[in-house]
Copies of this chain bind each other. A is one copy, B any other.
């Protein structure tokens, strides 16, 4: 299956409530497409490894080639799309090796970023963590309703990024954000619910509390374990469900 169906990939619409101001940088068609495509890829709506036919995509999204290429170009930076001259674009494939690399690098980079955040972060950073944690833990994840999954994913991502947001290193944050994207794709494709032996909510709480208490070793180790467990979990699912 090369192209996605139209279920939720219909023509671009102005579903933004149009608050009138607060330019969040989603103005151009290219930007909107990038967001929609990113979501489509991370959610698994666009199959990993599949070719992206420009002509079909153009019709699906009701846009011209220029913004379509624009949007796709951005997803290349995110590692979600691959490109080859004269051969076009394809959704980045998933693989066991890639999953393991993503996990390993998250352990290295995200933990390092947390360490730096704990060294440099201020009170506002602490407050942001507690808020993100609260919002995340108050949100239920119901496998039956996809929209709750999507919402939980957004808050989960927000929590992890907030945790390391105090590190004062834009490039590092960019790398971590990218790895988180790749990681989330595996979860959303393979993991309907976490395995029973984990209390993910508590894991998040421990990390957050260690962080604001500036207990560096504790918080970093908890985060590392958290990432590692997720990796192991996903690896099992990947092995079970098989990969192409």
Contact = CB atoms under 8 A, between A and B. Distances in A.
A108 B101 CA distance: 16
A31 B85 contact: yes
A47 to B, nearest CB: 21
B76 A25 contact: no
B73 A172 contact: no
Contacts of A3: none
In the complex, the count of this chain's copies comes to: 2
Interface in A70-105: 70, 73-74, 76-77, 79, 84-86, 98, 101-102, 104-105
Interface string A51-81: 0000000000000001001100110110100
A242 interface: no
Interface string A171-184: 11001000100100
Given A66-B66, A76-B77, A172 B101 contact: yes
A169 B73 CA distance: 23
Given A70-B69, A175-B175, A169 B85 contact: no
Contacts of A66: 66, 69
Query: What secondary structure prevails in chain A residues at the interface with B?
Result: helix
Chain A contact residues (Cβ within 8 angstroms of B): what range? 20 to 34
A196 interface: no
A16 to B, nearest CB: 14
A112 to B, nearest CB: 6
Contacts of A98: 171
Q: Of residues A170, A171, A182, which shows the largest number of chain B Cβ atoms within 10 Å of its Cβ? A: A171
Q: Of residues A26, A85, A102, A172, which shows the largest number of chain B Cβ atoms within 10 Å of its Cβ? A: A85
A240 interface: no
